């Protein structure tokens, strides 16, 4: 997976409402030429209202092949869950997050399972992928920026 290619194709000005991003980067040897080694796109998929419960989504998570085995994915996912807990506490949103994973992608399945996500089986709209869900407890965290840059 090449997170850099995905990120280059993003249009920050066209970000859908409710989507937040976390970026992790590694310092390069040449100033202003850092490599992005991990990326996660997440946010509110359906807003919570009096009529229905809402849901968060993790729409994309990736790490560069050169950092495989460093558990950078765990760092990304942990950071996202902390932020979702805080957001659910602040805005009284439903504490539920969904993601869609190809079940043949064992590293991704293992990552989400380590964090307590339940495999709900094939996605009815896209049966090649499975829906994974996590119910969590809202919890205040404090102030933070919508995006994070971490340098290694």
* pTM of the full structure: 0.78
Domain limits, the chain:
3-135
DSSP letter assigned to residue 96: E
**Burial level of 6, CB count in 10 A (0-12/13-18/19+)?**
middle
**What CA–CA distance (Å, rounded) separates 56 from 43?**
6
The pLDDT of residue 136 is 96
pLDDT in tens, 4-19: 555 556 544 445 555 5
Alpha-carbon dihedral sign for residues 13, 23, 21, 142: negative
Q: Does domain 3-135 have CATH number 3.40.630.30?
A: yes
pLDDT in tens, 100-117: 999 999 999 999 999 999
**What CA–CA distance (Å, rounded) separates 117 from 31?**
39
């Amino acid at each position: 997976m090449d997170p850099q290619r995905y990120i280059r194709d993003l249009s920050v000005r066209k970000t859908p409402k409710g989507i937040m991003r976390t970026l992790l980067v590694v310092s390069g040897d040449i100033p202003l030429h850092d490599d992005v080694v991990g990326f996660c796109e997440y946010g509110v998929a359906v807003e919570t209202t009096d009529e229905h419960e809402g849901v968060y989504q993790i729409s994309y998570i990736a790490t560069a092949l050169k950092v495989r085995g460093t558990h950078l994915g765990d760092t990304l996912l942990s950071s996202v869950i902390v932020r979702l807990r805080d957001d659910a506490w602040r805005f009284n949103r439903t504490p539920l997050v969904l993601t869609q994973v190809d079940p043949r992608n064992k590293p991704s399945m293992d990552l989400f399972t380590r964090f307590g996500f339940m495999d709900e089986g094939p996605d009815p709209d896209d049966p090649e992928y499975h829906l994974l869900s996590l119910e969590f407890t809202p919890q205040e965290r404090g102030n933070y920026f919508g995006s994070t840059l971490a340098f290694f």
